[in-house]
Amino acid sequence: MVQKKHRSRKTLNILDKSKKHSQFDYTEIFRHIRTNIEFSTVGKEIKSISITSTQPGEAKTTTSINLAYIFATKYQRVLLVDCDLRKTMLHKYMKMSNQQGLTDALIEFGKTHRYNPDYIQKKTDPSFLGTLSILTGGVHVPNPSEILGSDVFKDYMNVLKQNFDFIIVDCAPVGTISDAIPVGNAVDGTLFIISAQDTNRKDAANCIDLLKRNNVNVLGSVLTKSDSGSGIYSYYY
Ligand SMILES: Nc1ncnc2c1ncn2[C@@H]1O[C@H](COP(=O)(O)OP(=O)(O)O)[C@@H](O)[C@H]1O
Ligand SMILES: [Mg+2]
């Protein structure tokens, strides 16, 4: 039987000082990634990002959560959104309800064109400047590509941008489905996750190329599951 490793459990909620994370200072690593994101584009302020990768299991959701925590220590209103609608996981990692979320909010917004904050849950932490808001995936839908590619999604994202200081969107991988492209087009920039243990270099290059050809602003990549360098995370332009 193959033994499953659960190393990322150590990396969830990097701000929780009561848990020993290992010899690496993850808070510092994520602060460094935050700074790189903030200064990645000259002349244009980055206020919303999406996170994608080549395939499932490369630590997109884990990285999204950790980044959301670190942004919440600096920005008043931070929102973390689950846009991996085929495999909604954010609510499980965050131990939150997914009774209603993004898909439900989009269905309502498509009819009313009014922003309803009731779909968004909140998390507080003494180290946060304000609150961390979470929009889980919501009810399972048969047509995620259609929904994420719609004008309703684009308009909804614009309304979210007006209501939050920084938005982080956890996306599906690019290798098999194109859901991350319309999401990438709706945010200011995209981070591409590369797992030192899982990612095929050529596949990743093809995915990044596909994103760029579809006008997604790829800001850089984060290397996960690496045992060398600065622990299990590194950031590259
Ligand atoms: N930095 C990391 N180092 C090692 N393992 C990790 C790391 N981040 C996440 N993992 C593990 O990798 C698996 C996939 O993580 P997840 O964030 O759900 O990936 P994705 O969202 O890309 O599918 C999980 O089992 C998690 O425990
Ligand atoms: Mg995920």
pLDDT by residue for the chain (237 residues), tens only, comes to 333 333 444 445 555 555 544 545 788 889 999 999 998 877 889 999 999 999 999 999 999 999 999 999 999 999 999 999 999 999 999 999 999 999 999 999 999 999 999 999 999 999 999 999 999 999 999 999 999 999 999 999 999 999 999 999 999 999 989 999 999 999 999 999 999 999 999 999 999 999 999 999 999 999 998 876 544 555 554
CA distance 112 to 19: 44
Please tell me the predicted confidence (pLDDT) of residue 213.
98
Q: Are 65 and 90 in contact (CB under 8 A)?
A: yes
Instruction: Tell me which residue of 200, 164, 190, 206 sits closest to 60, measured CA to CA.
Output: 190
Please tell me the predicted confidence (pLDDT) of residue 8.
40
How many CA within 13 A on the CB side of residue 196? 15
Please tell me the predicted confidence (pLDDT) of residue 25.
73
Which two structure tokens, joined as six digits, stand for 6? 């659960």
Please tell me the predicted confidence (pLDDT) of residue 94.
94
Q: Are 66 and 30 in contact (CB under 8 A)?
A: yes
Please tell me the predicted confidence (pLDDT) of residue 7.
41
Please give the distance, rounded to the nearest whole angstrom, from the Cα atom of residue 22 to the centre of ligand 2.
23
Q: Model's pTM, two decimal places?
A: 0.90
Domains observed in the chain: 48-221 (3.40.50.300)
Please tell me the predicted confidence (pLDDT) of residue 232.
53
Q: List pocket residues of ligand 1, CB cut-off 6 Å.
A: 6-8, 11, 53, 56-62, 89, 224-225, 232-233
- Residues whose Cβ atom is located within 5 A of ion ligand 2: 60-61, 89
Closest-CA residue, ligand 1 atom 14, reads: 57
Instruction: Tell me which residue of 145, 78, 154, 156 sits closest to 116, measured CA to CA.
Output: 156
- Write down the H helix ranges in the chain: 26-38, 60-72, 90-93, 102-112, 144-148, 151-163, 180-186, 201-213
Q: Are 74 and 34 in contact (CB under 8 A)?
A: yes
